[in-house]
Structure 1
Amino acid sequence: MSLMLSHTTVDARDPYAQARWWCEMAEFTPKEGVRPGSDECYVATGDGYTVLFILVPDAKTVKNRVHFCMRPKDRSQDAEVERALALGAGVVTDFRSSGGWVVMADPEGNEFCILADRHTTGE
């Protein structure tokens, strides 16, 4: 028997707000049932992977043990960082001066990274 990764779950104080924010930030698509007041909000990535935002009573208090690493597709890393900031994200740590990534936090404080774009890294 083997296991298959079903989805990634993100704890949230407001699952709907988090789902909508990530749909805007990463062009995820909301799945059926994503509405204000929902305890569970599923979204899908462009390639069909599912992320679940689930209601929890407590706020985030320490560093994430798991986080999203996002790579720009058709914009520069700098443009994506600026877009994330405009959407309400914050910068946690910025490694761009050494050609690296930017650790950011979504509106509930969950960390994610915006990696260097492929044009810069040659990947």
Structure 2
Amino acid sequence: MTSFISHTTVDATDAFALSRWWQQVLGYTDDPEDPNEPGHEECMIISPDGRHKVLFIEVPEPKQGKNRVHFDLRPAEGTRDEECDRLIALGAKPVDDLRVADGTGWVVFNDPEGNEFCVLRSEEELRRTR
């Protein structure tokens, strides 16, 4: 017997605002049967194919310390560096730039509530360096 991951849950101080921000980053949408609205304490977003869900839940305490689990993002189109620029324009804050001169590496960011996530090279960039 095994289990599967139903969804990934992210603690938030403002579930609605954080869900909206991540929708822009990931291209996800609300659950059509339970759309997110301002003031909701739980906000679910769903990938276009319906296979991945992220649930944002409001908690009273602020984030403390480094995340033990985080998202590693790979651009669906374009390059890692173009995606980094797009995310900065959306309000992501660079935390650690681990890009290497040979084109490898990644960048660590904080989302608007301080949750860490990484941006990796695109699949196309990986293919070009193999």
> 1:47: how far off?
3.1
Q: Percent identity?
A: 47
After superposition, the CA RMSD in angstroms is: 1.3
Amino acid at match of 2:120: L
Tell whether 2:7 aligns with 1:7: yes
Equivalent in 55, 63, 66 of residue 63 of structure 1: 66
Higher mean alpha-carbon deviation, 28-37 vs 77-86, is at 28-37
For the residues of structure 1 that align with 2:2 and 2:122, how far apart are their CA atoms?
34
Q: CA deviation at 1:120?
A: 2.1
Question: What's the offset of the Cα at 1:51?
Answer: 0.7
In structure 2, the partner of 1:112 is 117
Equivalent residue letter for 1:36: P
Q: CA deviation at 1:5?
A: 1.2
- The 2-side partners of 1:33 and 1:44 are apart by 11
**What's 1:39 paired with?**
41
How far apart in 2 are the matches of 1:37 and 1:7? Answer: 21
2:58 & 2:26 partners in 1: Cα distance?
Answer: 21
Please tell me whether the aligned partners of residues 10 and 52 of structure 1 are also in contact (alpha carbons under 8 angstroms).
yes
Provide the C-alpha distance between the structure 2 equivalents of 1:90 and 1:28, rounded to a whole number of angstroms.
21
- The answer to whether the Cα contact below 8 Å between 1:20 and 1:30 also exists between their aligned partners in 2 is no
Q: Which amino acid aligns with 2:17?
A: A
Unpaired runs of 5+ residues, structure 1, are none
Note the alpha carbon deviations across 1:56-88, whole angstroms, 9 max, x for none: 011112100001111011111111101110111
Cα offset, 1:25, TM superposition: 1.1
Number of residue pairs matched by the alignment: 123
Distance in 1 (CA, whole Å) between partners of 2:96 and 2:65 is 15
Three-state SS of the structure 1 residue aligned to 2:76 is: coil
Q: Distance in 2 between matches of 1:77 and 1:47?
A: 23
SS of aligned partner of 1:3: coil
Taking structure 2 as the reference length, what is the TM-score of the superposition?
A: 0.89
Decide which structure has the larger Cα Rg and report it: 2
Q: TM-score, normalised by structure 1?
A: 0.93
